[in-house]
Amino acid sequence: MDSRRLAYLQAMGVVAWQPRSGAVAESEALPAAPEAAEPVSEAPLCMDWEALRQTACACRGCVLHETRTSVVFGVGSPDAALMLIGEAPGADEDRQGEPFVGAAGRLLNAMLKAIGLSRDEVYIANMLKCRPPGNRDPRPEEVAACGAYLERQVQLVNPKLVVALGRVAAQHLLESDASLGRLRGELHEFGAQRIPFLATYHPAYLLRKPTDKRKSWEDLKRIREVLAR
Contacts with ligand URA by CB under 6 A lie at: 86-90, 93, 99-100, 104, 126, 204
Q: Would you say 55 or 126 has its CB closer to ligand URA?
A: 126
Sign of the dihedral through C-alpha 162, 163, 169, 173: positive
Nearest approach in angstroms of CB 47 to ligand URA is: 22
From CA 26, how far away is CA 146, in angstroms rounded? 21
Q: Nearest approach, Cβ of 46 to ligand URA (angstroms)?
A: 26
User: Taking CB positions, which residue lies at the least distance from ligand URA?
Assistant: 86
Q: Which is nearer to ligand URA, 93 or 142 (CB)?
A: 93
* Shortest Å distance, C-beta 87 to ligand URA: 4
Q: How far is the CB of 216 from ligand URA (least distance, A)?
A: 15
Q: What's the CA dihedral at 144, 150, 152, 154 to 10 degrees? A: -140
CB-based contact 62:142 (threshold 8 Å): yes
CB of 100 to ligand URA, least distance (A): 4
Q: Which is nearer to ligand URA, 8 or 100 (CB)?
A: 100
Find the shortest distance in angstroms from Cβ 124 to ligand URA. 8
12 or 183: whose CB is closer to ligand URA? 183
Contact 35, 13 (CB under 8 A): yes
**Which of residues 9 and 119 has its CB atom nearest to ligand URA in the complex?**
119
Is 92 or 121 the residue whose CB approaches ligand URA more closely? 92
